[in-house]
Amino acid sequence: MTRTAFITGSTSGIGLAVASRLAANGWAIGLHGLATPELRDEALAVVRQAGAAEAAFFGGDLRDPAAVQGLAEAVQRWRPVDVLVNNAGMQHTASVAAMPAEVWQAILAVNLSAAFFLMQALLPGMAGRGWGRVVNIASVHGLVASVNKAPYVASKFGLVGLTKVAALEYAQSGVTVNAICPGWVETALIEPQIQARAAAFGGDRDAGLKALVLDKQPSGRMSQPSDIGEAVAMLCADWAHNLTGVALPIDGGWSAQ
Ligand code: NAD
């Protein structure tokens, strides 16, 4: 069956990998991001190449509640959405004492409030059609904390809680709502942290990456964005109708400690 999936923040990293994996199902894929026209076209080409039945792009700065509302309306004018993946996310590291107020507001808006408003807009349609999937890309930081990441950790704990509430409210509707909680995934988001650690090894990126991972993630390996794509595809399977309300760690044992 040709389903329609909409994935936020999907012109790069985990979002693009998720979009590509769902495109390989032959589904219609709605991309979203803040990308330049060139990056947008590249992402559209990637999902078409991966097998998308149809591909469309939607803009919208998720820091702006009016833009989130406009995005929800534009996507629904395009097609009825069967699968919503709330993936867009921002990160900023600073202590609680030093965190700028506008950074706190922006991270909460993008990582948590935008997911809430898109779910509010799209869940009733899924329930009305009797089938749907919401997958929220949270983080291991939705399960455990680290220093210097107050808004990120707060937003991801919030996203896990939101996931569970919606899973309960839609339990009998044919719609499941789950969160994925990755540890380290090798994307642009964490490149500054890799480079900061590499500096301690004379700029050796591999050594910096390994040291960074082993601080927290017992496997010593980062995940690849495609690994998260496979997990989303699993949650979208029909057999997973009773797999709802979970916060699934993909973290090499980080949260098991
Ligand atoms: P990324 O930077 O490649 O992707 C983030 C996406 O969010 C981008 O497409 C960006 O355009 C979009 N975005 C950011 N701010 C936005 C805004 N204001 N409006 C609209 N879109 C905006 O990074 P990624 O690593 O692929 O991250 C994807 C998700 O995975 C995030 O929610 C992140 O918190 C989560 N995550 C990443 C890791 C990791 O190690 N990379 C680990 C755990 C969770």
Contact 6, 60 (CB under 8 A): no
For range 176-196, the mean pLDDT = 94
Residue 192 lies in a domain: yes
pLDDT for position 197: 93
Co-location of 34 and 77 in the same domain: yes
Does 130 share its domain with 112? yes
Q: Do 77 and 14 sit in the same domain of this protein?
A: yes
Task: For residue 186, give the ligand 1 atom closest to its CA.
Answer: 41
Cα–ligand 1 centroid distance for 172 (angstroms): 31
Mean pLDDT of the chain: 97
Rounded to the nearest angstrom, the distance between the alpha carbon of 53 and the centre of ligand 1 is 25
Average pLDDT value for residue range 13-24: 98
89 lines ligand 1 (CB under 6 A): yes
Residues 116 and 209 in one domain: no
Partners of 79 in the β-ladder: none
For residue 9, the one-letter residue type is G
- pLDDT average, residue stretch 218-238: 97
CB distance 176 to ligand 1 below 6 Å: no
Q: Are residues 128 and 192 in the same domain?
A: no
* 171 & 199 share domain: no
Catalytic residue chosen out of the listed positions 6, 27, 58, 152: 152
Closest Cα partner for 181 from 135, 219, 142, 233?
142
Amino acid present at 222: M
Pocket test residue of 36, 69, 90 for ligand 1, highest count of atoms within 8 A of CB: 90
Question: What is the distance of C-alpha 176 from the center of its chain?
Answer: 16
In a domain, 136, yes or no: yes
- pLDDT tens digits, one per residue of 72-120: 999 999 999 999 999 999 999 999 999 999 999 999 999 999 999 999 9
How much is the average pLDDT of 204-213? 94
Residue nearest to atom 36 of ligand 1 (CA): 139
pLDDT range class, residue 1, cuts 50, 70, 90? confident
Residue 170 annotated as catalytic = no
Question: Does the model's ipTM exceed the 0.90 cut?
Answer: yes
Q: Which residues of 94-111 are buried (b: 16+ CB within 10 A; e: fewer)?
A: eeeeebeeebbebbbbbb
19/144 same-domain check:
yes
- 3-state DSSP call for residue 237? coil
Q: Measured on CA atoms in the order 234, 166, 108, 215, is the torsion positive or negative?
A: negative
Place 243 in a pLDDT band, splitting at 50, 70 and 90.
very high
Whether 152 is covered by a domain: the verdict is yes
- CATH number, domain at 33? 3.40.50.720
How many domains would you assign to the chain? 2
Tell me the residue range of the domain where 202 lies: 187-222
C-alpha dihedral sign at 175, 116, 20, 206 = negative
